[in-house]
A and B are shown apart, each in its own frame.
Chain A
């Protein structure tokens, strides 16, 4: 057990060290993408917990991220607090909203739950993030500008210190991801998975459904909100557009595509969501055989759709799930290298 824990910590450290270096030397656009990738990865990680572990459906994860972003933006722009305090406030706000969204989940399942969370996303997208009544939170049409701020007392201007924000974000992600992997195998994780596998059995075997479902929604929202809270810092400002309904749907689609039960799949999905559209808009035009062509952002959406269909047919456990299967298979084929033996009489 402990040796596995040490192994995981090492893996997280290595991943952090490698990923923290990658954007160095690239232009600002790529650095922004890198930050964005981690923000989206947080949102996908929140789905790993909620859907992958606990089996609950949510189509409003972008709303949670948005609440995190707006709360952090407001805290930073109006109260000029240290940015890490703003992040904490964003996480707390998202957590509370998550608990509220969790209430209907106590009664609803599957498609009805999906519709309700969709409704919540719609309300925030169309009303809360855009209405005058909530200007105190959203900062009006212009949103909040987070030009100059500091984190842990260090100067952290959004345009100049993008790398600083990225590194902090990445470090936080590694920690949360590690906790999530640990959670999976721990007692609490098992209680979550019990709810996923059979709610009926979980309840009669002593798992408090109310508590654990609410906790799952709260924690999931907090994780999405933590990523979102960094958005104003990375982007310099915050607007409703990144957190609209469609992003929520995209989270759901990409989480499933990459493998909704696996923590590393969230990182993979985040990178996919942030880089692919940008690469497409940068290099997706030119001339081919004398004809001009242009691959726009729309093509990305279509590609995700097609990939999702292909994946559901060929890799039902997601891209990462399939990769993992293969590696495990190879390991057990080689034998002895820690491939767990399963005894069946």
Chain B
């Protein structure tokens, strides 16, 4: 049963061929992986399927319908939902509202009855809101339901993107790098969630990600793109050992000789710290996100910050680089007190911050972005080193940064930072969106940095690699530093690190929801919660009885009920 049939898809942007005759088949109920180097055309293929761009050539059939002339919202009605690599939540709405919009848009609603708050509209409204809460609950996002989506950290926003796509009740889900910025445990949970969603809601998926642990674990079949062409396809295991794929994308894994690199610890502890943070506290609005942060980085030292999403790493970096004002505490850089100094001034002193959103200007070309460095530096900067580091950028030098692929944008941000000859680089989620080969290359670059005496403060999802390259590490938890020490020790004490992650990240419900419901009689706690919230006890009992009679899980019956309510 082919659900999605893509034939000969070709997309050109000026001289760039982003997709070159790609064909792909997705069967119903299948999770298909789509991998490939940065700029291979994965997001472009998503854009074609969801109707955001029109291909130059090629056809798409979904459940027998040709999609050539269908605008995006019609495809949404067919049941195609997607998430975005560059987050596209509606920032001024709450998380719950973000989920309600697609539900309403796909239902039959009327602008005037909405404005008048007619009973019909209010009723549908309440039903949608309930369903939104249920979905948020399953994804363990309920405590963010009332928060403005734009205020959330990127990692949470990524999960809300998935929740919003699920709210559309999709039949095909297109996931563009859902694991970007997630650590190993969160990724494992995501994998379980995706499996559960497939089992329970019968959703087929097309998954793009650079985290091979996720792709290998979840996907039934994998397509590999390179330069817009299909490079290989096959079972995950076969793909993993395919020499073509290794050469173009995965890279050699044999490099990883445990402990070897780590024994090289050439830092001079007696040297005065380059960056010293004392008792730092910072936050947004009425909220204090981090407190009592004590942290030091010596010249030429590589320091990693690890900790679950929302533990306060990003906020700490922001407070150090002057993007936000510290509430309390002091930041010393190069022997100078820079607390509360403007971000530009701090950058001029040689402290470069690559923020989570990369901080790029979408309407500047790659070359102009890099040339801008001369402005801060105060003298003409030669931009070739950036191109040597990322040869890919040389071909793209005239392209606008906003149209680059996600990974290419990350390359620009990193290249720009390196050009400004920093004394300390702070990188938030360094490997986010980068292909495995590039990530490996980056860790090598960091080693080069250390040799040149450039210090690095690093926030990184790949804890192992980060600890491999780092001299020391800080473990964040709940907005303060829980643990710190030499990376070698922390790595050996694996349990300690893992425990700290679990501290913030564990959630029994989502795991239970993911595990449960395979057999007929296991009652899914999350779904029972939904039922108990919205239905009176009598109905609930009836529901349970019916489930028993039909020999189906109560959850399935409950969902059917929810759907009926929603359609009325």
A binding-site residues for B, Cβ under 8 Å:
1, 5, 179-180, 182-183, 186-191, 193-194, 196-198, 200-210, 215, 332, 340, 342-345
Contact = CB atoms under 8 A, between A and B. Distances in A.
A193 B93 contact: yes
B286 interface: yes
Nearest to B82: A204
Given A193-B90, A205-B101, A344-B152, 18 more contacts: A182-B116, A186-B115, A186-B117, A186-B121, A187-B125, A188-B115, A189-B114, A190-B93, A191-B105, A198-B90, A204-B50, A204-B51, A204-B82, A206-B76, A207-B101, A208-B105, A345-B143, A345-B144
B92 A344 contact: no
Q: Which of A194, A206, A342 has the most CB of B within 10 A?
A: A206
Given A187-B100, A204-B50, A204-B82, A197 B92 contact: yes
Contacts of A188: 109-111, 114-115
Interface size class of B (residues with CB under 8 A): 35 or more
B234 interface: no
B73 A193 contact: no
B73 A183 contact: no
Contact of B102 (A183, A206, A344): A206
19 contacts: A183-B114, A188-B109, A188-B111, A188-B114, A190-B100, A193-B90, A200-B84, A201-B89, A204-B50, A204-B51, A204-B52, A204-B73, A205-B81, A205-B101, A332-B286, A342-B147, A344-B144, A344-B152, A345-B310
Contacts of A191: 101, 104-105
B115 A182 contact: yes
B554 to A, nearest CB: 29
Contacts of B147: 342-344
A221 B151 CA distance: 34
B70 to A, nearest CB: 12
Contacts of A196: 92
Given A189-B114, A194-B101, A206 B77 contact: yes
Nearest to A5: B117
A193 to B, nearest CB: 6
Nearest to B111: A188
B438 interface: no
A340 B82 contact: no
A188 B90 CA distance: 15
Contacts of B403: none
B279 interface: no
Contacts of A215: 111
Q: Which of B82, B101, B125, B143 has the most CB of A within 10 A?
A: B101
Contacts, number: 126
B402 interface: no
Nearest to B106: A206
B496 to A, nearest CB: 23
A318 B458 CA distance: 39
Interface in B125-167: 125, 128, 143-144, 146-148, 151-152, 164
B94 to A, nearest CB: 9
A188 B110 CA distance: 7
Nearest to A4: B117
Contacts of B84: 200-201
Contacts of A205: 73, 76, 81, 101-102, 105, 164, 168
B88 A200 contact: yes
A200 B88 CA distance: 8
Nearest to B46: A204
A194 B164 CA distance: 13
Contacts of B110: 188
A203 B286 CA distance: 34
Contacts of A198: 88-91
Contacts of B286: 332
A198 B91 CA distance: 8
A197 B90 CA distance: 5
A205 B128 CA distance: 15
Given A207-B73, A342-B146, A187 B90 contact: no
Contact of A206 (B91, B97, B151, B168): B168
B74 to A, nearest CB: 8
Given A187-B104, A206-B168, A332-B286, A194 B115 contact: no
B73 A208 contact: yes
B424 interface: no
Given A182-B115, A191-B105, A203 B143 contact: no
B347 interface: no
B72 interface: yes
Nearest to A343: B143
Contacts of B100: 187, 190
A26 B168 CA distance: 58
A187 B124 contact: yes
A232 B253 CA distance: 80
B49 to A, nearest CB: 10
A343 B141 CA distance: 12
B335 interface: no
B542 interface: no
A65 B101 CA distance: 32
A332 B286 CA distance: 10
B122 interface: yes
A30 to B, nearest CB: 33
Contacts of A5: 117
Interface string B309-353: 010000000000000000000000000000000000000000000
Interface string B56-77: 0000000000000001110111
B287 interface: yes
Contacts of A190: 93, 97, 100-101, 104
B166 to A, nearest CB: 12
The 9 closest A-B pairs by CB, nearest first: A206-B76, A186-B114, A197-B90, A205-B102, A206-B105, A203-B72, A188-B114, A201-B88, A188-B111
Contacts of A187: 100-101, 104, 109, 114, 121, 124-125, 128
B88 A186 contact: no
